[in-house]
Amino acid sequence: MILYAVTIFLSAFLLFQVQPLIAKIILPWFGGSAAVWAAALLFFQLSLLAGYAYAHALIKLAKARTQLLVHGTLLVVSCALLPIMPSVSWKPTAIGDPTLRILELLAATIGLPYFLLSSTSPLLQAWYVRRTGSSVPYRLFSLSNFGSFLALLSFPFVVEPNLASRQQAYFWSAGFVVFAALCLITAWVSREAASGESVPVPASPAIQEKSAEKSGERPSALQLLLWVSLAACASTLLVSITNHMSQNVAPIPLLWVVPLAIYLLTFILAFESDKIYQRWIFLPWVAPALGWMAYALYAGEGNFHIKFSIPIFCAGLFICCMLCHGELALRKPAPQYLTLFYLMVSVGGAVGGIFVAIIAPRVFNSYLELPIGLVACGVLATIVLFNLEIPKLGPWPVRFALAVGVGLLAGYLVRKELEDRKGYHLFARNFYGELRIRDDDVGQEFALRNLLHGTINHGSQRLNPEHRYEVNSYYAPSSGIGRTMQAKQGLGPVRYGVVGMGAGVMTGYCRAGDYVRVYEINPLVKSLSDRGEFTFFGHCAGDKEVLMGDARLTMEKQEPPNYDVLVIDAFSSDAIPVHLLTKEVMQLYFKLLKPDGVLAVHISNRYLDLAPVCERGAEFVGKKATVVADDASDNTFANSTTWVLITAPDNNVFQNPSFEGANMYPASAAATFRGWTDDYSSILPILSLN
């Protein structure tokens, strides 16, 4: 038993340790979007499905010695493919949705090792049952989930802060070799089992309905569908809630692993003991959980503080996944259908992942998968429990409450979605997120068109023809970048680059004789200017061009353009692409700038203080970082902003009259803060939820 337990635990630990590890490595290659994690989760779920299908087929179709030969060969081959560092040749070269490229990269880099790790738990549990003739070892399933849980929690708090990405990859690869050896030993000792059948185990006394485990009957088609549906509902909520949280802070491992850890914790609790998941305890909490998540999703949008919304979504995810996984545990089958059960659960997980990562971005023009998941959870709870007798609650109160609650929830979500769309004349969505255009005060002097990415404004343009091309919002003349542009343009023609097009407001500074180059990764953003929704770029009098693709990858390929100013405006959204602020990229930026050039970084953010990151990056390249804060109190159309201007120590730009009266101070960082590199980054030191 110990050998099986250790092997399963190690496989689960490696299985979930590699998820944030590899996703973080490839994140900058695909623009730092939160959707990179959704695509990675889809790969992991599909690989899990493939691993479970392989385990099911191997157990059902092959003899013990053949199983040893096949599985052992694959383990040896997978060790030959280590280490797991992805090749830079996988960096994207085309514009558009990179989901397929991400799936191909992950398959080539960690495909076979991950596939074998995925198959370990059901395969070894089946070997254990066959070898010992004992009851189905569902506690090994809980042990597997505990290993996964430990791996996830250790990554952001232990592994990520202390090891560079390359070190993480090598340590993981060494751990996989140890796992492969243990798995081969386990397969060897299991080869002589006499029987492939084992005695059925009795169902828990807490289960009042007749279960497949109790009777040993083959699960019906309805039972299989129920397994898939329960798993799919939990998976949909997991991925959609993770997406929601990542879009409103940053696509980072910390916010990836917390929901996934909660998801796994419910698996552990549900399968550890029939006494933990009690319907009369958990069912009354389903309706409040769904209601609070719906409220946090819509009623608080834009002003519901994250220190409240994240706990609400995490608690809600726990309740809903406890329902789904608890019902799965109560319906676990007899031992001979063990691998079939795992296969159906993994099918459900893959269905949820495909819905959120593949179908939703192509079918919906806004983020509707989370509201759909909330309603589906309520509907599923009502259907599943409709014919059950529940001790201590009675049948009808719960049924009636759930049915009414689901109806009210669906009505509320539909109403809020319709209300949310009022005032917007465009909704669009792709891999990089959701874009919306809202017109305020139409027909009045102060009419304004706003571009929003999620809940964050990405630039505005006045609709009054007399003021249409006045630079406003985050880039107003009183802002750090506004003062910089005035200083540079006072000396003659200016060459400048802008990372992040938004509404194109920064191109409003481009005069005749000036040159502006815009770097934009999202084709939807550029299309808004092309179709005339925002006209700053089309109207600017100087030379201009837009380069599509990830800004950093594009810059690495180009000749130095000798910019006077380089604007990094990818951080005003709460979800930040970390790879655009590492020490290494600072070296790249200053290769593109003139010696007296200014690197202007927009760091306005509700939850992250990026000034220390800029300070460490500036220090790394021998420059100085100055913070320029503007409360925009004297301009109705300007936003309160914080910019960091990074310059050579002897740069005299701050002596220009345009900086008179500016709120400026040197950027600083705690002595213990090491800054960000391509191999290391952690938001914990700069995260503020106050």
pLDDT digits (tens, 9 = 90+) for 301-330: 445 566 778 899 999 999 999 999 999 988
Extract the residue ranges of the chain whose pLDDT is less than 70.
Answer: 1, 94, 133-142, 191-216, 248-254, 299-306, 386-399, 402, 443, 571-576, 689-690
Pairing of strands 495-499, 624-630: unpaired
Cis ω for the linkage preceding 83 (within 30 of 0): yes
Give the model's pLDDT for residue 506. 95
Give the model's pLDDT for residue 575. 57
Give the model's pLDDT for residue 689. 64
What whole-number distance in Å separates Cα of residue 298 and Cα of residue 521? Answer: 28
What whole-number distance in Å separates Cα of residue 32 and Cα of residue 39? Answer: 12
Torsion sign, CA atoms 242, 244, 247, 248: negative
User: Could you tell me how many helices (H) and strands (E) the chain has, helices first?
Assistant: 22, 12
Strand, coil or helix: what is 473?
Answer: strand
Give the model's pLDDT for residue 139. 65
Beta carbons of 141 and 121 less than 8 angstroms apart: yes
Taking phi over 0 as left and psi of -120 to 50 as alpha, with beta for the rest, 650 belongs to: alpha
Long-range contacts of 298-305 (CB under 8 A, 24+ apart): 298/412, 298/413, 298/416, 298/417, 298/420, 299/416, 301/420, 301/455, 302/455, 305/689
What whole-number distance in Å separates Cα of residue 294 and Cα of residue 288? Answer: 10
416 burial class (0-12, 13-18, 19+ CB within 10 angstroms)?
Answer: middle
- Residue 489 in tokens: 């343009």
End-to-end CA distance of the chain: 49
Within 504-652, residue ranges assigned H as helices are: 523-530, 536-539, 551-557, 583-592, 611-620
What whole-number distance in Å separates Cα of residue 367 and Cα of residue 370? Answer: 7
Taking phi over 0 as left and psi of -120 to 50 as alpha, with beta for the rest, 223 belongs to: alpha
Residue with tokens 């213990």: 672
Give the model's pLDDT for residue 576. 66
Give the model's pLDDT for residue 209. 36
What whole-number distance in Å separates Cα of residue 621 and Cα of residue 626? Answer: 15
**Residue environment code for 537-573, b if the CB has 16+ CB neighbours within 10 A, otherwise e:** beebebebebebbbbbbbbeeeeebebbbbbbbbbbb
In the chain, the domains with their CATH numbers are 1-196 (1.20.1250), 210-415 (1.20.1250), 473-686 (3.40.50.150)
